[in-house]
Amino acid sequence: MYTIDLNGKTGLVTGVVNKHSIALHIAQKLQQAGMGLYFTYANQSLKERVEEAVVGMAPLGIFECDVQNEGMVEGMFREIAGKHDAIHALVHSVAFAPREELGGSFLNMSRQGFLTALDISSYSLVSLTRHAAPLMKEGGSIIAMTYIASQVVIPGYNVMAIAKSALESIIRYLAYDLGRSNIRVNGVSAGPVNTLSARGIKGFLKMMEYYPQKAPLGRNITADEVGDAALFLLSPMSSGVTGEVLFVDAGYHIVGM
């Protein structure tokens, strides 16, 4: 039997806010495979919530890291570098857009909403990777969470669709830049999962009712299934895969009507 053994490997997981977070389910799989993990919270008001969510996972450390704050990102990696010669994995599971931008008319998207959504949800992958890559001295694997609205219109997703298109392009450019350093960069495109962020999208619960009708597997996916796919991409099992977006959506994306 082939088992995924990540003992002795170290990773950083961003984007846990509570027990429903996709990032937490990814982290659980990594931890079960033996990887030591660092976590982040976006601001002080979320500190306790995140500490509570990861309590059973023996975290190596939990950092405050607002991805809009370059100094915080830099400081976090400096601290990690002080404790580890190398890290091996980075999970980007962070997204945000002002609530008023997630629904209604696409045409009325504000410039500030656009800039905020792309800064937090897309550019942050460049910033985190820039600081993580020098620590990936033994090679590494980076994943980012995306959604099919990057490619087709999902009404109401609006500015976040643009952010996901940018994110997927960033994944490809980073994969190209970092391939010779044996650092792989991939995306996981998940079907709807009932999380705090997802509930901010107008019509999200309707979406969860619609998916099982259309998806070949006839059901929604679980966050645990996203965790398994992420584990594959963050382990040597996927050593030949980079610049890819792997759909974990019960096959929804292949169906035209």
Ligand X SMILES: NC(=O)c1ccc[n+]([C@@H]2O[C@H](COP(=O)([O-])OP(=O)(O)OC[C@H]3O[C@@H](n4cnc5c(N)ncnc54)[C@H](O)[C@@H]3O)[C@@H](O)[C@H]2O)c1
**Residue nearer to ligand X on the CB measure, 16 or 57:** 16
CA separation for the pair 92, 129 (Å, rounded)? 9
From 38, 157, 211, 252, active-site residue: 157
List residues near ligand X by CB under 6 A.
15-17, 20-23, 42, 46, 65-68, 93-96, 120, 145-147, 190, 192-193, 195-198
Query: At its nearest, how many Å lie between ligand X and the CB of residue 199?
Result: 9
End-to-end CA distance of the chain: 40
**Residue nearer to ligand X on the CB measure, 17 or 183:** 17
**Residue nearer to ligand X on the CB measure, 1 or 255:** 255
Whether 173 is catalytic: no
Query: At its nearest, how many Å lie between ligand X and the CB of residue 116?
Result: 9
Whether 147 is catalytic: yes
Sheet of strand 245-248: strand arrangement = 61-64, 36-41, 10-13, 89-92, 140-146, 183-190, 245-248
CA separation for the pair 149, 163 (Å, rounded)? 10
* Structure tokens that stand for 57 in this block: 């996972």
Query: At its nearest, how many Å lie between ligand X and the CB of residue 172?
Result: 17
From 2, 38, 123, 147, active-site residue: 147
- Cβ–Cβ under 8 Å, residues 87 and 135: yes
The neighbour count for residue 16, using CB atoms within 10 Å, is: 30
Catalytic residue annotation: 147, 157
